[in-house]
Structure 1
Amino acid sequence: MAEAIRNIYCIGRNYRLHALELGNEVPDSPMVFTKPSHAAVPMDGRTIELPGDRGEIHFELEIVLRVGQSYQSGMAADECIDAMALGLDLTLRDVQSKLKAKGHPWLDAKGFKSSAPLGEWLAYPGWERLQEHEFALVKNGVEAQRGNSRDMLFHIPQLIGHIGGRFGLGAGDLIFTGTPAGVAALQDGDVLEAYWADKLAGSCTIKLA
């Protein structure tokens, strides 16, 4: 995990099938929300404790980018990124549904403690080569999600330009780039394993308390 995580930007509905599986409209521009840095926790085989009394918590496996160089207008997106990981955007889905119905922000559903588990940091191969590999989440020995960055609605160069131009990007910022279809509720004792190019890149056991 990065030693000095700053802002955590997240992209919602960046895979068409995931948007549709939740009955959401497919966006026509990147949908950005944030998590506090306190949400980050290593996904290094440890047990991660999550609230068990606030409704369903859904897993969402995502490619996570780490910014190593501050964004400047016109720079190539790959120049900003110094590493990647697989991470989980954990979501209190029942809480989120209530917030959405009221038109309220999602922070309570997306930003709770330990809601952003992060696997090991890997070398970032660049946007073009990133699309050569798939990523997958295995839950209790059964594959639950599989995706490829080429299926993103808004590709990484678009995300870097959008976030960097509107909000700014600096060293230590993270970008959760969206999840493919297959999200579902977690149960107490679930064992999650994240794979990049069929190699284990992070794991954890869930404890609902």
Structure 2
Amino acid sequence: MSLLFELPETPSVAIIGEETRFPVRRVFCVGRNYEAHAREMGFAANREAPIWFTKTPTALCPSGATIPYPPGTANCHYEMEFVVAIDAPAFRIAAEEAMGIVMGYACGFDMTRRDLQNASRDKGYPWDTGKDFENAAVIAPITRAAAFGEIGGQRITLSQNGTTKQDGTLAEMIWSVPELIADLSRMYHLAPGDLIYTGTPAGVGPVAEGDVLEGRVEGLEPVRLAIGPAE
């Protein structure tokens, strides 16, 4: 069988201290997983079930990149996130067993065209154009889970041009990582190469040309991004 045309290589993420890279199959994201962030968006904390959306792997962007200000928006926001990398299959897995499929963790930015997201939300439309676009899933190299240790009260922060804008802890997540994996596995056959962006603390805001963003989670490689001129 021959193909009409060739597709780009499978997107992948570096792994700290290794030559092998993590190939990305799918990117799942959680909305409003920090109570203070839900409030700043005008919503009460959602404790019924996680709010899921997806980004295509082509939205991935490596840490350290300079990207053009995204097209189609006048209000692009940063959102700092703790990212979970999965390297084993799971379907309808219990939360008590969920950490067994976790390969590692990374710092990431869930870049958001907020004006498009809000317009879609107000009309009851999907969030796709607000969330899934080129360079919208920024990610730093992955740290193996064993090297990171237990998820607890590690700080998660973001600075914009050297000024801290987001400052929280992983313990503030409404839905823990095991709970997120268990819930997601009820709806999807999870598989090696899946990433989960686990939500953002309060303090999200707009970016502008010339901005430099740096996100940190204690124990992980920081994620960095510069915003260039629009195309």
Taking structure 1 as the reference length, the TM-score comes to 0.93
**Is the contact between residue 127 and residue 156 of structure 1 (CA under 8 Å) also seen in structure 2?**
no
- Is the alpha carbon distance of 1:76 and 1:157 closer, same or farther for their aligned partners in structure 2, counting shifts above 3 Å? same
Question: Does structure 1 residue 142 correspond to structure 2 residue 163?
Answer: yes
Question: Does structure 1 residue 68 correspond to structure 2 residue 79?
Answer: no
27, 32, 37: which one aligns with 1:18: 37
- Name the aligned partner's letter for residue 17 of structure 1: A
Corresponding residue number in structure 2 for 1:51: 70
| Superposition map of 1:1-209 within 5 A | 1=13, 2-27=21-46, 28-43=48-63, 45-72=64-91, 73-74=93-94, 76-125=97-146, 129-197=150-218, 201-209=222-230
**Is the contact between residue 136 and residue 144 of structure 1 (CA under 8 Å) also seen in structure 2?**
yes
1:46 deviation in Å?
2.1
Q: Which runs of 5+ in 1 are unaligned?
A: none
SS at match of 1:130: coil
Q: Which runs of 5+ in 2 are unaligned?
A: 1-12, 14-20
**Is the contact between residue 112 and residue 131 of structure 2 (CA under 8 Å) also seen in structure 1?**
yes
**Is the contact between residue 78 and residue 127 of structure 1 (CA under 8 Å) also seen in structure 2?**
no
Corresponding residue number in structure 1 for 2:18: none
**Is the contact between residue 46 and residue 204 of structure 1 (CA under 8 Å) also seen in structure 2?**
yes
**Is the contact between residue 105 and residue 220 of structure 2 (CA under 8 Å) also seen in structure 1?**
no
SS at match of 1:180: coil
How many pairs are equivalent? 208
- Name the aligned partner's letter for residue 136 of structure 2: S
1:50 deviation in Å?
3.2
**Is the contact between residue 50 and residue 114 of structure 1 (CA under 8 Å) also seen in structure 2?**
no
CA root-mean-square deviation:
1.9
**Is the contact between residue 82 and residue 217 of structure 2 (CA under 8 Å) also seen in structure 1?**
no
**Is the contact between residue 88 and residue 191 of structure 2 (CA under 8 Å) also seen in structure 1?**
yes
**Is the contact between residue 29 and residue 54 of structure 2 (CA under 8 Å) also seen in structure 1?**
yes
1:128 deviation in Å?
7.7
SS at match of 1:24: coil
- Is the alpha carbon distance of 1:202 and 1:30 closer, same or farther for their aligned partners in structure 2, counting shifts above 3 Å? same
CA distance in 1, matches of 2:213, 2:186: 35
Question: Larger Cα Rg: Structure 1 or Structure 2?
Answer: 2
CA distance in 2, matches of 1:169, 1:126: 23
- Is the alpha carbon distance of 1:200 and 1:70 closer, same or farther for their aligned partners in structure 2, counting shifts above 3 Å? closer
